[in-house]
Structure 1
């Protein structure tokens, strides 16, 4: 009887863990996509929270007027950590958008079945390869490790997180900067080559006015783009590996900032 009462006293802590893990799977790459059934997301979150319940240090949580604040804090923490990982991975689609704009594919967006939004053609291609590489290097296990070790930096009984302090704002700006820098580095070989193709077509249009460069230019730019993508594909894999490192480091730094400002 005493053991049952002891387990019931830990139920509020389990609810807090379950809320953070569930919110984490709402925004994290791979696990949050539409092709993963909602029942599987909830079930996986429940069993993962059950495992964490017996492995992390659980403080005594009392159900009072502050408990709703703790639940909201846990939801915000899970959403923020997952969104940080998703934000870094989005750099691949941004790079694909830069490439598509120069290739002339910007008008032919496709619907991403994973997120339900429009995405560029080359961006969707690179994004799919990125997700496959993430699975190949067990990156999804590292993402789950991130939510597991978040309890060491952001305890359950921490009520307040200051999102308006200067270090947090500087961290967000620096993360956006690094994300766009990786996107630029991924797209600059193709975009640079297409810029040279545009210059060459401009010279041809001035020297040979009888030639319709608008008819010749589009298939030529598509051909050059595919050749450069094939040549620079090894560089893409290196940049994607750096993107994974940036994603994990950004998640860790975000959790440290949220734990320090509490």
Structure 2
């Protein structure tokens, strides 16, 4: 018969709780899994299941569970988990930002829709791009890759070694990468709309009696929608390119190696 004395049970609980806090914080910050579409109980159960599997592989330092040092250790795991999940969130928000910028360029910024995942109103094109990247993320097994990425974080950031403040600054710089890539997605449409507006300006100068602006607004919208339709052909390739860049950033900046 299996017997556990109180000391063994206490050590097992301590070993389980610290990975559980990191994994739970990661799932809260992770897109899709951390949204309002996923029940909190299901998220906690999923974090519990992953923690049970990961705990035997994690080295947990000896700490008194009722000491202030243990509270600091829990806070450390929460911060690391949120930071890891935020990296993937930046990838998702890249496409949402690109969709909103494209909507403003196309004159569709007034078309707003409710985002059920975050509970806010966003441009419809931004919501559409966000839905597309979510499907691409699941369809290419991105969720399995990020779970491996989470497990590997226990090797590169062991429990109790802290989280260097330099990593926070590197995470801030990743926001600049998000704006850069969003502009690259929108740039072809922005240039095309600019050329159309210049053409309408020339026509308006040549024929002042024509109400070219009333005519040009629906033409620009129709052209933009046609342009979006053309861009859908390369959407998956664009997503995979940016996903690979995120993985390379994790390897070169934070030192996490992934095999997925």
TM-score of the alignment, normalized to the shorter chain, above 0.5: yes
CA distance in 2, matches of 1:210, 1:238: 46
Matched, 1:132 2:135: yes
Aligned to 2:14, the other structure's residue is in SS state: helix
Deviations 1:159-217 (A, max 9, x none): x3232x4x752x23542232222111211121111111111111111112222122212
Matched, 1:210 2:214: no
Please tell me whether the aligned partners of residues 189 and 224 of structure 2 are also in contact (alpha carbons under 8 angstroms). Answer: yes
CA distance in 2, matches of 1:239, 1:17: 34
Deviations 1:228-253 (A, max 9, x none): 22223233322211121233334455
**RMSD over aligned Cα atoms:** 2.0
Q: Which residue of 2 aligns with 1:244?
A: 243
Offset, 1:118: 2.2
Q: 1:220 to 1:192 in 2, by over 3 A?
A: same
Q: Which residue of 1 aligns with 2:58?
A: 56
Deviations 1:26-51 (A, max 9, x none): 11111011111111011111111111
Q: 1:89 to 1:251 in 2, by over 3 A?
A: farther
Aligned to 1:182, the other structure's residue is in SS state: helix
CA distance in 2, matches of 1:62, 1:246: 41
**Greater relative CO, 1 or 2 (CA 8 Å, sep 6+):** 1
Q: 1:88 to 1:17 in 2, by over 3 A?
A: same
Please tell me whether the aligned partners of residues 81 and 251 of structure 1 are also in contact (alpha carbons under 8 angstroms). Answer: no
CA distance in 2, matches of 1:6, 1:255: 35
Offset, 1:134: 0.7
CA distance in 2, matches of 1:248, 1:44: 24
- 1:23 corresponds, among 22, 25, 33, to 25
CA distance in 2, matches of 1:136, 1:4: 46
CA distance in 2, matches of 1:254, 1:19: 24
Deviates more, 1:4-13 or 1:68-77: 4-13
Deviates more, 1:42-51 or 1:209-218: 209-218
CA distance in 2, matches of 1:253, 1:110: 38
Q: Which residue of 1 aligns with 2:88?
A: 85
Q: Which residue of 1 aligns with 2:103?
A: 100
Q: Which residue of 1 aligns with 2:157?
A: 154
Aligned to 2:68, the other structure's residue is in SS state: coil
CA distance in 1, matches of 2:50, 2:239: 28
CA distance in 2, matches of 1:104, 1:188: 15
Deviates more, 1:72-81 or 1:60-69: 60-69
Structure 1 length normalisation: TM-score?
Answer: 0.89
Q: 1:47 to 1:173 in 2, by over 3 A?
A: closer
